Structures are given as structure tokens and as C-alpha cells.
Amino acid sequence: MHNVDLSVTLAGMTMKNPVVVASGTFGFGREYGEFYDLSELGGICAKGLTLHRREGNPGPRIAETPMGILNSVGLQNPGVDAFIATELPFLRQYDVKVIANISGNSPEEYGVMCEKLSEAGVDMIEVNISCPNVKAGGLAYGTRPELAAEVTEVAKAHAGQVPVMVKLSPNVTDITEIARAVEGAGADALSLINTLRGMRIDVNTRRPILKMNTGGMSGPAVLPVAVRMVWEVSNAVKIPVLGMGGVSKGEDAAQMMLAGATAVAVGTACFADPYAPLKVRDGLAEIAARQGLSAVSELTGGVKPW
């Protein structure tokens, strides 16, 4: 591939290329594995796990938007133990880094899951802090610096040698405040952005299209917001960033990396085109080659602000 070195290292985890598939858009890889060898990817971020099995939200739970989708799937998953027993061995057949994404209702739940996943030997744990904290009246951990820091500390204390990456919510006034709090609590990396809250209404029935009324917006429409937040966060912290939000082609990924991301995740684009992550990878290599770079990692942080 143009003799450009595609490998990147994210918080001590070396991937053969900087393209990860985003949590919740790739399941546990089985379906996509019928299209191509999953070893082609840099990393797979598995669908979000909770301590116990969850059925998710009632439907409809997906709605299209002009440049993306809204979802309120509600973390439907088989639970962390089932993942370790059946899905992790499947993923381990491939030469790809496995990132487990976890959600909890209390810091204790995050701790238990980190312990289990660390013992099972995942490559990285992505901590979703967009979940509501039951004790704090349903406030999302990701909206208050002290709550985000508390979850991060507990996760780090129970994750052993496995790096902990915290996934930041964009639904805040200042994302750098949360980023700094999480870094201070010991996070090894940050991933951003999670979905933006949105809503669609059927004007004839006057009912929201999603049964849960609102949902998370993803897809090409959120890319400029994500690039801006990745840039702000990269300038605010020293730990590496996994950039995501609307990435569907090489140029999108290059923007993320120039803004400061070490690696990128492709999510919603996978629904329209299962091969999107591979096209992003190849597109990135082409851009790096065209610019005379010897490695794609040289793009990281290369933006020249006015």
C-alpha cells in the first residue's frame, strides 16, 4: 500500500492500521466477518456490554435523519459473562485488537466488569460514561467532571494491565473540562464523540418517531462537531485520542487525525457499506502517500490553525 507505514500505537496498544470499528455498529463482528477477514481492521470495539443481559428499548428504535441516523437501542446485549464465554473466543481467531465497551449504573458495576474483562484478556476497555447514574438522579456520568473522574478511577483500579479508554459525551457545555477530569483520574486514552441527542417527530401522528422520544444522532452530519471536539480535547490533554463521529471516508479520518486523533473509529458508515472501514484505511494511506509521509501517524496533530 504505497509503502506507507499504517501502524499506530494507542495507549500502548499497537494496531496494524488506525481504523477501529465503533461500538454498537459492528455487533461482535460475526455478521461483518462474512464480508471480509476481520484481521484487515486495526481494532474492533464490541457492542456495549452491561453487567447483566439487557433486552434494550422498545421499537421503533432507529430513525433516519437527513445526514445520518437517530438510535435509542438501549444497550441490548448478552451481558459481560456471555461475551467472555462466546464472543471473545470468536474475535480471538483474528489478528485484530479487541476493545470491550462497558456501561454501568454505578461505579461498582464498572469495577466488576473491568475485573472480568481484564482477566479474560481484552486489549483495551472503553468506558461509556454517557450512562445515567442511578444514585445521582439519572444524571449521565459524562456530564459532570467529578462523576466522570470517579468512574475512571474505579475502572483503572480494576482493569489490571489493560488500558482504559473513556468515551466522552458531546452533550456538555465544555468537553475539555470532562476530558481533563478523566485524564486526572488516570485514563490511558479518550474516545470521542459519542452521539448527539436528537429528535424526530411525525407531523401527522404528532408522535416522536422513536419510542423513547429522543435518541443519539450519528452519521456524516456530526463530523464537523466531532472534528472540533477532537481538536479541543487534543489541545487540552496529553493522553491519546480515538476520534469518531461521521467518519465515512479517508479524508474524514485524515481530518480527525490532523485535529489530534491517534486513531479513528468508523461507525454509522458500516450500516450503509460494510466495507467502509477498509475504504477509510486505504483512503488514509493514499492521502499520506500523496503528501509524501512515511507513516499515517505523521498526520496526527498536524493541523495549522489560523
Q: What's the pLDDT tens digit per position in 177-202?
A: 999 999 999 999 999 999 999 999 99
Is 195 annotated as contributing to ligand binding?
yes
Q: Average the pLDDT over 143-164 and give the result.
A: 96
Q: Average the pLDDT over 12-36 and give the result.
A: 97
Q: What's the confidence (pLDDT) of residue 113?
A: 98
Is 71 annotated as contributing to ligand binding?
yes
Q: What's the confidence (pLDDT) of residue 130?
A: 83
Distances (CA, A) of 117 to 9, 183, 250: 21, 21, 32
Residue 133 has pLDDT above 80, yes or no: no
pLDDT band at 1 (very low <50, low <70, confident <90, very high): very low
Q: Give, as one character, the DSSP assignment of residue 222.
A: G
- Each residue of 227-276: pLDDT tens digit? 999 999 999 999 999 999 999 999 999 999 999 999 999 999 999 999 99
- Each residue of 216-229: pLDDT tens digit? 999 999 999 999 99
Catalytic annotation present for 45? no
pLDDT band at 2 (very low <50, low <70, confident <90, very high): low
Q: What's the confidence (pLDDT) of residue 134?
A: 64
Whether omega for the bond prior to residue 170 falls within 30 degrees of 0, making it cis, is: no
Q: Average the pLDDT over 1-23 and give the result.
A: 93
All cell numbers assigned to 124: 483495551
Is 105 annotated as contributing to ligand binding?
no
Residue in 45, 114, 131, 270 annotated catalytic: 131
Q: What's the confidence (pLDDT) of residue 11?
A: 97
Q: What's the confidence (pLDDT) of residue 140?
A: 81
Is 248 annotated as contributing to ligand binding?
no
Is 171 annotated as contributing to ligand binding?
no
Is 268 annotated as contributing to ligand binding?
yes
Is 193 annotated as contributing to ligand binding?
yes
Is 68 annotated as contributing to ligand binding?
no
- Would you tell me the crossing angle of helices 175-184 and 223-236 to the nearest 10 degrees? 40
| Cell 422520544 sits on residue | 213
Q: How far apart are CA 163 and CA 10, in angstroms?
A: 9
Residues forming beta bridges with residue 242, ordered by sequence position: 191, 263
- Whether the full predicted model's pTM is greater than 0.85, yes or no, is yes
The sign of the dihedral angle between the CA atoms of 292, 265, 108, 130 is positive
Q: How far apart are CA 63 and CA 49, in angstroms?
A: 23
Residue 138 has pLDDT above 80, yes or no: no
> Which residue, among 42, 10, 97, has the nearest Cα to 284 in the 3D structure?
42
Residue 139 has pLDDT above 80, yes or no: no
Q: Average the pLDDT over 68-84 and give the result.
A: 96
Is 267 annotated as contributing to ligand binding?
yes
Q: Give, as one character, the DSSP assignment of residue 5.
A: B
Kindly provide the b/e burial profile for residues 275-303, where b requires at least 16 CB atoms within 10 angstroms of the residue's own CB: ebbbbbbbbbbbbbeeeebeebbebbbee
Q: What's the confidence (pLDDT) of residue 131?
A: 72
Query: Above pLDDT 70, what percent of the chain?
Result: 97
